[in-house]
Amino acid sequence: MRRWLRVGLGFLAATQIVVGVWALFFPARFFALEVVGMGMAYNEHLMRDYGAMTLASAVVLGAATIHMGPWMTRTALVMYLTWAVPHFFVHLTMLDHLGPSTATLLMVALGLAIALPAGLLVLTERRLRPL
């Protein structure tokens, strides 16, 4: 179980690093993605802020990956879910500009972005002693 937690946390941290670097240092390219811009006006400031906040979440997830203490691991996963769940519902209400296949793929990906940390959180609850 510990190995799966570490791999899952590491995967979440790595994806946050990739997205964070992309949005912070290449905001126009990130915003140009159909599933990001969503037909709205570009705002460089918001894109760079999003990138920086995403990198900050990568720090928390990375610390949990390395430390693996129960408190740190659970906090990191709840932090990620606090973002991922509303993010899913925001996109769910804004699918009109996407084709059916793109909308479906997006929602599957965002659903997996909830299922993975939720599953990892369940794994942490299966053991009452420290990870």
pLDDT tens per residue across span 7-42: 999 999 999 999 999 999 999 999 999 999 988 999
**Domain regions of the chain by residue span:** 1-126
- When pLDDT is cut at 50, 70 and 90, the band that residue 127 belongs to is low
Cα→Cα distances 41→31, 36, 46, 48, 72, Å: 10, 11, 11, 15, 38
Q: pTM above 0.85? A: yes
Neighbours of 16 (CB within 10 A): 22
| Mean pLDDT on 55-59 | 98
Residue with tokens 């993010």: 87
